[in-house]
């Protein structure tokens, strides 16, 4: 069984990378980049200097869900750099690009080519919130601004805990809509 799981994991990454061969996938990623930029410009709220609530991550979740961890990670990293170039906020720090890549990889690994279930979406959101948002991004803020890790951690813990069920519900309903409307254009059977 372990051999089969290793094969499936490798196969998951290879299938995800092969998505980039399709012109409709690349075009869709470009459109999702534009949507993310629009959301970044108009639908983001900063709560203090270390907490930001926004919806520009939704297109990355859609891309990772439809095309897998490789495309999700590449899209997340590229989008982070593009967002900074078009709307710089503070100094550029590559750690946040690593976080964006990791978020796309986690969403893609847990959701790509799998049945959409609220528990799976919750698990993906939980992993991203704990490992990326709370641990890594707090570490990056600590390194970038020199603020004590433990001083900024409580606010980030509370905001991510509050947003976990909200983000899970938003992502689940959004991906259900994607399944009904968009997914058929990218299925291999077409």
Per the structure, how many domains does the chain have? 1
Mean pLDDT value across residues 127-144: 92
What pLDDT, on the 0 to 100 scale, is given for residue 172?
A: 97
Nearest to 35 by CA among 128, 186, 160, 174: 174
What integer is the mean pLDDT of 32-43? 87
Tell me phi and psi for residue 43, to 5 degrees. Answer: -120, 45
Helical segments of the chain, H only: 2-18, 23-42, 58-86, 94-111, 118-127, 137-145, 149-181
Q: What are phi and psi of 70, to 5 degrees?
A: -65, -50
Residue 48 is predicted with a pLDDT of 62
**Mean pLDDT score of the chain:** 88
pLDDT of residue 50: 52
pLDDT of 189 above 80 = no
31 Cβ neighbours under 8 A, 6+ residues apart: none
Mean pLDDT for the stretch of residues 162-175: 94
Structural domain including 161 reads: 2-185
With respect to residue 107, please indicate whether it lies within any of the assigned structural domains. Answer: yes
Instruction: Examine residue 24 and state whether it is found in any structural domain, yes or no.
Output: yes
- For residue 40, the domain's CATH number is 1.10.1760.20
The pLDDT confidence band at residue 89, using thresholds 50, 70 and 90, is confident
> Does 190 fall in a domain?
no
Using the Cα atoms of residue 155, residue 157, residue 162 and residue 164 in order, give the sign of their dihedral: positive
């Amino acid at each position: 069984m372990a051999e089969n799981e290793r094969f499936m994991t490798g196969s998951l990454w290879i299938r995800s990378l092969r998505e980039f061969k399709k012109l409709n996938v690349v075009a869709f990623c470009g459109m999702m980049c534009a949507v993310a930029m629009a959301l970044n410009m108009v639908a983001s709220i900063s709560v203090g200097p270390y907490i930001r609530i926004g919806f520009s991550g939704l297109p990355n979740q859609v891309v990772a869900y439809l095309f897998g961890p490789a495309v999700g990670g590449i899209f997340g990293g590229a989008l982070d750099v593009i967002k900074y170039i078009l709307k710089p906020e503070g100094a550029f720090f590559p750690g946040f690009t690593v976080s964006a890549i990791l978020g796309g990889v986690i969403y893609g690994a847990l959701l790509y080519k799998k049945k959409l279930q609220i528990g799976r979406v919750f698990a993906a959101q939980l992993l991203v919130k704990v490992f990326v948002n709370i641990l890594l991004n707090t570490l990056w803020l600590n390194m970038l601004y020199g603020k004590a890790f433990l001083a900024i951690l409580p606010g980030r813990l509370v905001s991510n805990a509050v947003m976990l069920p909200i983000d899970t519900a938003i992502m689940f309903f959004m991906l259900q809509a994607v399944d009904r409307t968009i997914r058929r254009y990218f299925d291999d059977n077409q």
